[in-house]
Amino acid sequence: MPIKHVIERLLHSTRQSTPGQAEFYQAVEEVLVSLEPLLASEPKYLHNNVLERLVIPERQIIFRVVWMDDSGKIQTNIGYRVQFNSAIGPYKGGLRFHPSVNLGIVKFLGFEQIFKNSLTGLAIGGAKGGSNFDPKGKSEGEIMRFCQAFMSELAKYVGETKDIPAGDIGVGGREIGYMYGEYKRLTGRFDGVLTGKGLNWGGSLARTEATGYGSVYFAENILNKQGDSLKGKICTVSGAGNVALYTIQKLYEMGATPVTCSDSKGMLYDKDGIDFNTLKTIKEIKRQELSEYLKHYPNARYIPVDAYEKGTNGVWSIPCFAAFPSATQNELNLRDIQTLHHNGCRLVNEGANMPSTPEAIAYMLANRILYGPAKAANAGGVATSQLEMSQNASMQKWSFSEVDTKLHAIMKSIFDLAYATSKEFNEEGNLMLGANIAGFRKVADSMIDQGAV
């Protein structure tokens, strides 16, 4: 049967057997379609049913999370952990707390994580988890009780050599702390079961910064290959959380000027450049609204979501040389990329997971816009999580610059691998194809080595 038909049949059966998981199908389709040239040259992957196995998680755990709010009322949420693939190492991937979380979202993130982790060159399998809990507007006590309730169930399924969760949207150092405390209380163990830990209790220097820094290192690699760099360039960034913040900081260090950021309520445009320290204080320390920024920089513009042109993300209307989507999935659509292109944008580098729609990606590839796909571009976070695990296991503590140097080298090696693989399959520079094939090959070969499991 022609390979196209094999893929179509698998996509169809995936939709039939797991209805209502749009983001998951989107992630699966992107990967499977880009594997076509590899499957054509290496029939062993079809003979061993690797694809059929790959799209089914090894295990998915769904649980009730019950906690008490400040008024004494019992609240209920749904918790998830999808342990997708452990062919190359223990499960690893973040936890997301956001009202939009459902099984399809967790599966898309877990599926992406398999290939991302493989690309890092480290021994980590793919997983993801989270809850539909909304941390916004909750008191400190409520956040703590929720995290404890969540971990009281999750603790049964994780372990330092089994499954090692980390943060993602809505889960930062504070939440990891509360979950770690509960894990310790339940198990009596002080081990590296979570990453993103506090620096006093097993965390790694540079883990907080790693995804944003790594994303900028990756972009610089793409540009260097073209004989260009970020120096002196105007950049746009979406999001105002962990990834966006440290993308902004590193862009300045590379000599670029990041002029935007955003959250779910609106966006900021400061043509002189977003002030990193002010943004960090507002979003990371005081957890305030983005519009607070205007009190410090009255010449900046704050545009609320309602004022965006319908169906577009306001950030991408600002002219730039490079765009760094760093908020959430499907935040950059066809109209956004057409606007960016029209305004002279040369590079889209994905800090968030799956931020570009399939139509936007197709447009980038057709119009030779440089494209850093999420699996590769934002892999610095999980790679540094693995460096945290290494430090925990060997009871060492490395300096910031030691970790940052390793991160820099890992991002370069991911770029080199994705680039070389794109060349091998006669699609030089198509890093999406290169990253998907390179990530897949290592996992698939390991699955074949390990037999029918």
Integer Cα distance of 290 and 285 in angstroms: 13
Query: Residue 315 interacts with ligand NDP (CB under 6 A)?
Result: no
Query: Residue 389 interacts with ligand NDP (CB under 6 A)?
Result: no
Q: Which stretch binds ligand NDP (CB under 6 A): 3-11, 23-31, 261-269, 397-405?
A: 261-269
Rounded to the nearest 10 degrees, how much is the dihedral formed by the CA atoms of 279, 280, 285, 289?
20
| Residues in 328-347 at the binding interface with ligand NDP, rule: CB under 6 A | 328
Q: How many CA atoms lie less than 13 Å away from 214 in the CB half-sphere? A: 35
Pick 235 or 244: Cβ nearer ligand NDP: 244
Integer Cα distance of 407 and 211 in angstroms: 9
φ and ψ of 324, to 5 deg: -125, 80
Burial class (CB in 10 A: 0-12, 13-18, 19+), 220: buried
φ and ψ of 84, to 5 deg: -80, -50
Q: Which of 79, 93, 126, 170 binds ligand NDP (CB under 6 A)?
A: 170
Question: Among 145, 64, 116, 77, which residue's Cα sits nearest to residue 350?
Answer: 116
CB 196 within 8 Å of CB 166: yes
Which string of x and - marks every residue 14-53 that binds ligand NDP (by CB under 6 A)? ----------------------------------------
Query: Could you tell me the smallest distance in angstroms from the CB atom of residue 45 to ligand NDP?
Result: 27
Query: Could you tell me the smallest distance in angstroms from the CB atom of residue 264 to ligand NDP?
Result: 3
Pick 378 or 392: Cβ nearer ligand NDP: 378
Residue 422's CB is within 10 A of a number of other CB atoms, namely 21
CB 258 within 8 Å of CB 236: yes
Pick 275 or 427: Cβ nearer ligand NDP: 275
Query: Could you tell me the smallest distance in angstroms from the CB atom of residue 306 to ligand NDP?
Result: 13
Q: Which stretch binds ligand NDP (CB under 6 A): 66-74, 216-224, 274-282, 326-334?
A: 326-334
| Residues in 127-146 at the binding interface with ligand NDP, rule: CB under 6 A | none
Residue 265 among the catalytic residues? no
Q: Which stretch binds ligand NDP (CB under 6 A): 262-270, 398-406, 427-435, 436-444?
A: 262-270
CB 266 within 8 Å of CB 291: yes
b/e per residue, 65-74, with b = 16+ CB within 10 A? Answer: bebeeeeeee
Catalytic residue among 92, 128, 233, 375: 128
What's the gap between Cα 124 and its chain centre? 15
Q: Which of 93, 351, 434, 439 binds ligand NDP (CB under 6 A)?
A: 351
Q: Which of 23, 163, 168, 388 binds ligand NDP (CB under 6 A)?
A: 168
Burial class (CB in 10 A: 0-12, 13-18, 19+), 15: middle
Dihedral over Cα of 405, 407, 408, 410: its sign: positive
Query: Residue 126 interacts with ligand NDP (CB under 6 A)?
Result: no
State the residue for tokens 């690893």. 92
Question: Among 353, 392, 322, which residue's Cα sits nearest to residue 117?
Answer: 353
Pick 125 or 381: Cβ nearer ligand NDP: 381
Query: Residue 357 interacts with ligand NDP (CB under 6 A)?
Result: no
Joined tokens for residue 145:
């009780």
Query: Could you tell me the smallest distance in angstroms from the CB atom of residue 168 to ligand NDP?
Result: 5
Q: Which of 195, 353, 386, 392 binds ligand NDP (CB under 6 A)?
A: 353
Integer Cα distance of 120 and 416 in angstroms: 11
| Residues in 195-254 at the binding interface with ligand NDP, rule: CB under 6 A | 211, 239-244
Pick 328 or 386: Cβ nearer ligand NDP: 328
Q: Which of 13, 226, 264, 399 binds ligand NDP (CB under 6 A)?
A: 264
Pick 15 or 301: Cβ nearer ligand NDP: 301
Q: Which of 352, 369, 403, 443 binds ligand NDP (CB under 6 A)?
A: 352
What's the gap between Cα 82 and its chain centre? 15
Q: Which residue is nearest to ligand NDP (CB)?
A: 241
Query: Could you tell me the smallest distance in angstroms from the CB atom of residue 373 to ligand NDP?
Result: 12
For binding to ligand NDP (CB under 6 A), which residues are involved?
167-170, 211, 239-244, 263-265, 326-328, 351-353, 378, 381
Known catalytic residues are 128
